[in-house]
Amino acid sequence: MPFMNVYGNGGMLTTVGDWLKWNEMLEIRSMGAPLVETLETNGVLNDGRKIAYALGIVASEYKGLREISHGGSTAGYRTYLGRFPDLKMSVAVLCNGSSMNPGGLAHRIVDGVSPKVETPPPAKTIELSESELAKFAGLWRNEKTHMPIQTIVKDGKLEAFGAGFLQPIDSNKFIAGGGRIVLTFEKGENGKPNSAVLEQGDNVFRYIAEKEWKPTEKELSEFVGEWYSEESEAKVEILVKGPNLIAAQRPDTKLPFVPKYKDHFTLGGGREPVMWFSRDTNGKVTTLHVGASRMRNMPFVRIKK
């Protein structure tokens, strides 16, 4: 992945020595307090909600401690640098494996060396019957990214793919990940959940209830053709093969589109990337969109049908 010539918003290379200098500058404010204060000022969205991300730095809290941090990753490497002003301590983690969680490792170090860290008491959970849990089972679309999440009842518990088992703390509120994830279902006029809000720290995601979609061959034929993305300079051919929609990009590359909800697909059995088609006011398919964890809404236009 030779993209090291792109830097500023990413692709930054450093050394341990330079990292120490950068961290010390933030700690003692050697380049001026206004610079550091600006870097650490939380962002505010258009709706007035404050978020954890500041100016190239995440300004948040960990177990009551102020945490100034940022992580990074590239092909085969993951890193994290966290500064804890209340402790006068910083933790840097560099991993030469992509399966590691450097932020989690850093927090374990903080837990082990700091007497000030107090684990908050766990939220009090309640019991819900399987019939009550079944109300929250279904397919949910992220309102912003279009990514799907599915919830099912398994072994008497509500499980969300990607978040694990959900523990109820109220009639419509659940927690996961030791309380770091809070999922609140919102009921519609019919009394059934029609949306859900997932809170993970300062990040808030809204999900809309969707119905599972099983398109006919005729419905799939609406998406057939050659599609081109000017942004990525990529072309993909979409065709129907039997009951399936297939994306062909190279002679030996055939990718199955798995339908999720109306006009939305994923590849294989995974959650990402997600592909969806938009239509004009007459219902005609106009644009193919592709999204993933680090990419949102890359458009493709049909150049040949």
In a domain, 286, yes or no: yes
At which residue do the structure tokens 């792109």 appear? 6
Whether residues 150 and 103 share a domain: the answer is no
Looking at the structure, do residues 272 and 248 belong to the same domain, yes or no? yes
pLDDT at 1 over 60: no
Same domain for 101 and 50: yes
Rounded Cα distance, 275 and 295, in Å: 12
> Can you give the residue range of the structural domain that contains 34?
16-113
* pTM summary value: 0.76
Q: Quote the tokens at residue 196.
A: 């859900």
Specify whether 94 is located in the same domain as 65: yes
**Token reading at 165:** 């088992």
Burial 80-97 (b: 16+ CB within 10 A, else e): bbbbbeebeebbbbebee
Terminal-residue alpha carbon distance, the chain: 33
- 54: in domain: yes
Over the Cα atoms of the chain, what is R_g? 23
Q: Mean pLDDT over residues 48-60, rounded?
A: 89
One domain, residues 227 and 199: no
> What is the rounded CA–CA span in Å between residue 24 and residue 15?
14
Tens of pLDDT, residues 184-232 = 999 887 778 999 999 887 778 899 999 999 999 999 999 999 999 999 8
User: Looking at 155, 189, 210, which one is the last position of a domain?
Assistant: 210
Average pLDDT, the chain: 88
The neighbouring-strand residues paired with 24 are none
The answer to the question of residue 141 being in a domain is yes
Same-domain check for residues 205 and 225: no
Answer yes or no: is 5 within a domain: no
pLDDT digits (tens, 9 = 90+) for 239-261: 998 888 999 887 788 888 999 99
Is 123 inside any structural domain? no
CA 87 to chain centroid, in Å, comes to 30
Largest CA distance in the chain: 66
For the CA atoms of 94, 99, 103, 107, what is the dihedral angle to 10 degrees? -100
Residue 4 inside a domain? The answer is no
104 and 174 together in one domain: no
Q: What is the pLDDT of residue 5?
A: 67
CB atoms inside a 10 Å sphere around CB 193: 20
Q: Which tens digit of pLDDT belongs to each residue from 113-137? A: 887 777 667 778 999 999 999 999 9
Count up the domains in the chain and report the number: 3
Are 204 and 285 members of one domain? no
pLDDT digits (tens, 9 = 90+) for 94-108: 998 878 889 999 999
Question: Can you read off the two tokens belonging to residue 41?
Answer: 């000022």
Contact assessment for residue 11 and residue 3, using Cβ atoms and an 8 Å cutoff: yes
The verdict on residue 3 lying in a domain is: no
Q: What pLDDT score was predicted for residue 243?
A: 85
d(CA 194, CA 212): 14
What CATH number has the domain bearing residue 289? 2.40.128.50
The SS3 assignment for 287 reads: strand
Q: Are residues 195 and 222 in the same domain?
A: no
Q: Are 40 and 57 in contact (CB under 8 A)?
A: yes
Contact 203, 51 (CB under 8 A): yes
Considering only CA atoms, which of 278, 240, 277 is closest in space to residue 256? 240
Note if the bond before 193 is cis, omega within 30 degrees: no
How many whole angstroms separate alpha carbon 188 and alpha carbon 190?
A: 5
7 lies in a domain? no
Q: Choose one of 191, 210, 229: the last residue of a domain.
A: 210
Tokens of 117: 């860290």
- Which of 189, 210, 231 delimits the end of a domain? 210
Confidence of residue 164 (pLDDT cuts 50, 70, 90): confident
- The structure tokens listed for 172 are 């419509």
Residue in 83, 70, 71 with CA at minimum distance from that of residue 25: 83
